[in-house]
Amino acid sequence: MARPIKRFVCQSCGAVTSKWSGRCESCGEWNTIVEEAAPAPGPAGGGLARGGKGRALEFAGLRGATPQPPRYLSGISEFDRVCGGGLVTGSALLIGGDPGIGKSTLLLQVAAALARQNTACAYISGEEALDQVRLRAERLGLADAPVQLTSATSVRDIVSSLERPDAPRVAVIDSIQTMWLDTVDSTPGTVTQVRSSAQALVELAKRRGIAILLVGHVTKDGAIAGPRVLEHMVDTVLYFEGERGHQFRILRTVKNRFGPTDEIGVFEMSDRGLSDVANPSALFLAERRGHVSGACVFAGIEGTRPVLVEIQALVSPSSLATPRRAVVGWDSNRLAMVLAVLEARCGVSVGANDVYLNVAGGLRIGEPAADLAVAAAVVSSLADEQVPGDMVVFGEIGLGGEVRPVGQREARLREAAKLGFRSALVPRGRAGAGAGTVQRSPEGIAIDEIEHLADLVARFQPPDRPLKRGRREGSTDRERD
């Protein structure tokens, strides 16, 4: 009898090595390599030499009639939005997020909403007992929903139960890290078990036309735990974002084979579970206080939805040799670039100060269009001059100090007009007027266009407290002016 082949697999990144070591050479993590049994090798050449010729494939053109895949509408509008219009039959959806942020609560609400619409749903819990899930359902007012509930961790048992003729059409697996296959020689939660369990469940979804919803744990860095291939195997990947100190949560789409990516859904957490937020911009600006410097409203785009959020900056003198840069909700490298451009191209002295930046409400912004709003908040705090309360700002900043146009300008302005804003500081359009010109848009917002970051600094520079330093050697004409 042949000896079983052993291999060593990193439980952090999935890298495979021939021997054990304390540190993974691929991801650099320590004490993550575990010995596992390797799958049996196939015949030489993959069996192609013995099996003869394969079946000829039929090819088709790109043009053709393809019907839209049928979907299950849960009635939870924000969840249906991030899924691209509902759950697609035969699809696999993966949702991740921090512990306690509301993943199980949301999926239990989705299962109950679908079950009340006569769609057979199953909730399979691998982490909690049946009584714990029932207590949550009673607290959320979902105890009367005809959801089929069970507690199991064996993938073989789950697949056998879902292959019956009367099997449910939607199944929630909570969570994939607790599932295990008896054909894999490793403990639950390891890279091999997570990959093999997910593959078996995805194959079941495609074969039986069942919509599978998988809950995934996340690492300390915020990524879904397990192999990266897990996100490639499923059709849709959703991430739950938000701070526990805030009452609302953000569900973001990072992958969707049946709809747009980078879409967001906003939910408000209460004692009755998660509820839809019809107007996220009004929610993010609800606690906004005017008449304070360093606050600026940014008109952003999240997926297909325009969202208005408040960006707050605080610039204060530093007693440290290296001033502090603290960022919440934005890219810290992007802030460093904006501060460098302000100092090098506009002569604004920021380097000796501590800079604190916060996106109010817990939303995380990733688009470059927030550059101009961040610069406006920083300059406003440094000059102690308020940004007009009825003004929105958006635009991308280049390393030369130029302010570049961004996409979906009209959608941003329409959202701002709907919430009562009357002016906008935006980049100069490609066919627009010169810098500093004011136009009246169809939405009733006064458009103030600029083409260089120095034009923004000039609007917030007090005459008695100049922000600029003296003339530097090699400075441009714009900086000398």
Q: Is the pLDDT of residue 267 over 80?
A: yes
Q: How many contiguous H segments (helices) and E segments (strands) does the chain have?
A: 13, 24
User: Among 212-216, 345-349, 430-434, which stretch is predicted with the lowest mean pLDDT?
Assistant: 430-434
pTM of the model: 0.77
Q: Is the pLDDT of residue 243 over 80?
A: no
Separation between Cα atoms, residue 281 and residue 336, nearest integer Å: 27
- Are the C-beta atoms of residues 392 and 447 closer than 8 Å to each other? no
Mean pLDDT over each residue of the chain, to the nearest integer: 85
Residue 435 binned pLDDT confidence (cut-offs 50, 70, 90)? very low
Does residue 175 have a cis bond before it (omega within 30 degrees)? yes
Q: Tens of pLDDT along 443-452? A: 678 999 999 9
Radius of gyration of the chain measured on its C-alpha atoms: 27
Q: Look at the block and give the residue holding tokens 């705090």.
A: 381
Q: What is the mean pLDDT of residues 362-374?
A: 91
Residue 468 binned pLDDT confidence (cut-offs 50, 70, 90)? low
What pLDDT score does 40 carry?
A: 56
Q: What is the mean pLDDT of residues 410-438?
A: 77
What pLDDT score does 41 carry?
A: 56
| Architecture of the structural domain at 71-278 | 3-Layer(aba) Sandwich (3.40)
Residue type, 18: S
Q: Where are the domains of the chain?
A: 1-38, 71-278, 287-468
- Are the C-beta atoms of residues 293 and 377 closer than 8 Å to each other? no
Residue 181 binned pLDDT confidence (cut-offs 50, 70, 90)? very high
Work out the percent of the chain whose per-residue pLDDT is above 70: 86
CATH number for the domain running over 287-468: 3.30.230.10
- Are the C-beta atoms of residues 432 and 385 closer than 8 Å to each other? no
Range from 5-9, 211-215, 301-305, 439-443 that averages highest in pLDDT:
211-215
Q: Is the pLDDT of residue 80 over 80?
A: yes
Q: What is the mean pLDDT of residues 270-281?
A: 87
Q: Tens of pLDDT along 395-411? A: 999 999 999 999 999 99
> Residue 386's CB: how many other CB atoms inside 10 A?
17
Task: Report the chain's terminal Cα–Cα distance, integer Å.
Answer: 85
What pLDDT score does 441 carry?
A: 60
Q: What is the mean pLDDT of residues 204-227?
A: 84
Separation between Cα atoms, residue 121 and residue 82, nearest integer Å: 20
What pLDDT score does 141 carry?
A: 93
Q: Tens of pLDDT along 102-152? A: 899 999 999 999 999 999 999 999 999 999 999 999 999 999 999 999 999
Residue 440 binned pLDDT confidence (cut-offs 50, 70, 90)? very low
Separation between Cα atoms, residue 406 and residue 370, nearest integer Å: 10
Q: What is the mean pLDDT of residues 89-105?
A: 91
Q: Is the pLDDT of residue 474 over 70?
A: no
What pLDDT score does 308 carry?
A: 94
- Are the C-beta atoms of residues 265 and 97 closer than 8 Å to each other? no
